[in-house]
Structure 1
Amino acid sequence: METSEMELTSHFATFAFLFLCLIPQAIADLNSDKQALLQFSARVPHGRKLNWSPAIPACMSWIGIYCTHDGSRVIGLHLPCVGLHGPIPSNTLGKLDALTILSLRSNRLSGILPSDVLSLPSLRYVNLQHNNFSGHIPSSLSPNLDFLDLSFNSLTGTIPTTVQNLTNLTGLNFQNNSLTGHIPNLNLPRLRLYNLSFNDLNGTIPSSLNKFPASSFLGNHICGPPLNQCLIINPPFPSPTHFSPSTLPRNTERTAMLALHRREKFKE
């Protein structure tokens, strides 16, 4: 056999070996994704029935599930308006370590935001608007997030400063919550959509964010461009303090009495 044929045969054998080794791993990863989704479905009540069943392929038939081209991993979960209610249990969606898109908007999900999900490094798009989530926004967020919408919930606490580390972010929407504190200074070059309206934020709008319209900041206790300029209120000039002899400090009282005595003596 010539050398080139031997090399070709060797390359083909290597490829076949790797392919056969990767198939079991891909099946294992997909099975892990299916189990995580089935646990989520079993523990979170939903008004609209989902056709999720271990008996049918998840990547071909399950409602709201999107997979890679080769069908080896779940990368998208899109379940708007299906009547999901209650908290998202830990160790369910947080196990989908290839998840890129998460959209559960317009449901009745509640409880704290699932930090094990929002911190998944693979996650890039999150839409959880119009639910009943409460508590604080997790400080651990996926560093690869492109879009984060947590609007129309019941979130409290401050905006985590770790948001400034999300350098890929193009959209951030926290409107209609109960967030408090100051607005962090964000220098995110790709940010195009930004909305913090109708919260309980206070202070001055950072200069890095005044390029956004006034509608992004309405309904708070904040000032500065693009809203009205902050008023600088000078403290009132202190009025002189009058002491009665009974309230004067000891030395001051003695001095006042001596002065009075001198005036009376002068009159004589």
Structure 2
Amino acid sequence: MSVIALTSAHGAPGVTTSAFALTSVWPQVRPGRRVLLIDADPAGSGLMTGPLRAGIPDGLGISVLAAVRAPLSVEQLIGCCVALDPAAARMVLPGVSDPRQARPLGPTWVALVDVARGLSASGVDVLVDVGRLGHQWEPTVWLTAADLLAVVVRGDLATVLPATAAVRALTANRPAGSAVVGVVVDPGPYTSAEIATALGVREVLTLPSDVRTARALMEGGTGGWIDRSALLRSARSVVQRAAELVPDVEPVVAR
């Protein structure tokens, strides 16, 4: 697999929670592969008040990486990440805490696209939390370069209608044939097919509105009932389908 970006067009449908849920279950669904969640939300990191609320050690995070002279290397990227488990099967590149810090990051995001592809070829899948569309310092390169772009919505008109226009614009700016899918948090009274048709995407992947589990997960909870929850069971299905939509990148073999 290569790069999967998650974004939203309106409100707060749960982009960060969805991305973190997928990251949490990734090694279970994709044995032998690791996952890196890049926190690229220019409005400010939702992870800083959740899983990373204890603070970021000095020398880690996107702001540190931005000070490194391009071209960036896989080793430099990994060196700025926080490992979420002892084996570093799940990693996070922490984002910005203040939107003003996002202003100079454009060149860094561009440089990271090629690094992300290098990671994928070496066995690390990459998720990117882009946040809500339309921010002044939006990391647009991820929206166009990601191999799979997921637009997160809730199953109501207030989020589906703005997302429909956004999907059209995003699709027009992406390479022909590249995938755009919907991720629906709580489909409500609608079927997946109905939401896919409304959004103009070929399919939608669903996650439940599971507030209790989402809160526990974002507070650092693991194991037990959290692993058995509806949210993480659905997250495993989403990861599996994403792996089918975006095949693994073949390792580069030196000649």
Q: Same-fold call, TM > 0.5?
A: no
Larger radius of gyration: 1
Q: TM-score of the superposition, structure 1-length normalised?
A: 0.29
Structure number with higher relative contact order (C-alpha < 8 Å, ≥ 6 residues apart): 2
Q: TM-score of the superposition, structure 2-length normalised?
A: 0.30
